[in-house]
């Protein structure tokens, strides 16, 4: 990033007097910028400063004593300054405002930072730490979790947030094997590493099942006092299509028809032993049966279509049921 204030005197704009200061985007130094801004203000360098902006239609913020605040809308809006027409910007800014400007510069510089693959040794260290933590979950090993997490650690799963004290209090030996890390990816920005790892859930000893369970972990690791500490974990279960049951035409035909919800309609059709559904104005979609009177659209696993019947067994509609709500479609004809 470059700050370019023209010469100290407005009377003469000598391009050779331009001061250009470049700062590494990965090391924003707000305190240094604050001192630069303060020094410039004390020396009366009130001419102009241009700050490049990232991903903005406005190419730069411009601070100049040649124009009042009211004509500097980008800078004015960014710093939330009251209108003070006819005042020099540098001299009108108190120390707090100059520090705010320095922080804006620092944040603009930080926005240029790009995430990079971390050093392989860092990845090796973090993966080893994750393996220790996954094992510690099932051993009730609170000390390992306490040692490798920050004091403000948070664990998020299925919409529930556990703070560090609550999370540690719930750890207990359960006799299960630890999750198995199968994919591990990391990106680093400074002293922060964002980690993604996909884990397989091993079969439980003594249990027979067709379980095919996988978890996706999103983690934030930070280097604190030279040591890597886990600050945040978000766990999400990777959903897979349920096994579809085989149907015959007699099972499918009762569902065929048109259904209405408000101004929208939905049509279910049978094509041999295949089922399709089409909402008005949309493309047809494939439907499969998870159970009798329970339909789903492959790869849209948050919604089920639950067929509704009256006391005589006649289909009267279906409910679009997601994880939080039901939407009733009433049958209007065949």
- Range from 10-14, 39-43, 260-264 carrying the lowest mean pLDDT: 10-14
Q: In Å, how far are 22, 37, 97, 245, 257 from 61, measured between CA atoms?
A: 17, 15, 15, 63, 61
Q: Could you give the CA distance from residue 325 to residue 304 in angstroms, rounded to a whole number?
A: 11
Instruction: State the residue for tokens 């279906």.
Output: 318
Mean pLDDT of 79-92: 41
Instruction: State the residue for tokens 């260290």.
Output: 125
* Statement: residue 44 has pLDDT above 60: no
Instruction: State the residue for tokens 């209108």.
Output: 83
Q: Could you give the CA distance from residue 328 to residue 308 in angstroms, rounded to a whole number?
A: 9
- The more confident residue out of 193 and 57 is 193
Mean pLDDT of 42-51: 43
- Range from 21-30, 75-84, 144-153, 175-184 carrying the lowest mean pLDDT: 21-30
Residue 118 pLDDT: 83
Mean pLDDT of 287-314: 92
Q: Could you give the CA distance from residue 87 to residue 96 in angstroms, rounded to a whole number?
A: 17
Residue 207 pLDDT: 59
Mean pLDDT of 245-256: 93
Residue 238 pLDDT: 84
Q: DSSP secondary-structure letter at 308?
A: E
Per-residue confidence band for 117, with pLDDT thresholds at 50, 70 and 90:
confident
Residue 67 pLDDT: 36
- Range from 76-80, 262-266, 269-273 carrying the lowest mean pLDDT: 76-80
């Amino acid at each position: 990033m470059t700050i370019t204030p023209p010469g100290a005197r407005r009377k003469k704009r000598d391009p050779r007097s331009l001061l250009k200061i470049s700062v590494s985007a990965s090391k924003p130094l707000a305190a240094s910028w604050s001192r630069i801004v303060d020094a410039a203000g004390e020396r009366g360098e009130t001419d102009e400063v241009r700050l490049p902006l990232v991903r903005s239609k406005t190419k730069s913020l411009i601070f100049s004593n040649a124009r009042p605040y009211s004509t500097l809308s980008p800078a004015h809006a960014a710093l939330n300054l009251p209108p003070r027409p006819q005042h020099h910007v540098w001299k009108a800014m108190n120390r707090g405002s100059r520090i705010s400007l320095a922080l804006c510069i620092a944040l603009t510089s930080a926005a240029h930072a790009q995430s990079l693959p971390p050093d392989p040794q860092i990845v090796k260290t973090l993966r080893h730490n994750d393996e220790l933590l996954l094992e510690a979950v099932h051993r009730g090993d609170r000390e390992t979790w306490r040692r490798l997490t920050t004091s403000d650690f948070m664990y998020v799963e299925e919409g529930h947030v556990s703070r560090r004290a609550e999370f540690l209090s719930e750890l207990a030996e359960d006799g299960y094997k630890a999750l198995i890390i199968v994919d591990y990816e990391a990106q680093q920005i400074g002293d922060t590493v964002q980690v993604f790892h996909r884990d397989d859930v091993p079969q439980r000893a003594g249990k027979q099942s067709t379980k095919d369970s996988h978890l996706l972990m999103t983690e934030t690791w930070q280097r604190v006092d030279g040591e890597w500490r886990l600050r945040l974990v978000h766990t999400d279960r990777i959903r897979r299509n349920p096994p579809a049951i085989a149907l015959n035409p007699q099972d499918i035909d009762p569902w065929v028809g048109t259904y209405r919800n408000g101004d929208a309609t939905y049509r279910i059709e049978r094509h041999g032993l295949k089922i399709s559904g089409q909402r008005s104005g949309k493309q047809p979609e494939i439907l499969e049966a998870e159970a009798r009177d329970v339909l789903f659209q492959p790869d849209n696993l948050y919604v089920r279509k639950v067929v509704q019947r009256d006391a005589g067994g006649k289909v009267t509609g279906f409910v679009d049921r997601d994880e939080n709500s039901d939407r009733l479609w009433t049958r209007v004809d065949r």
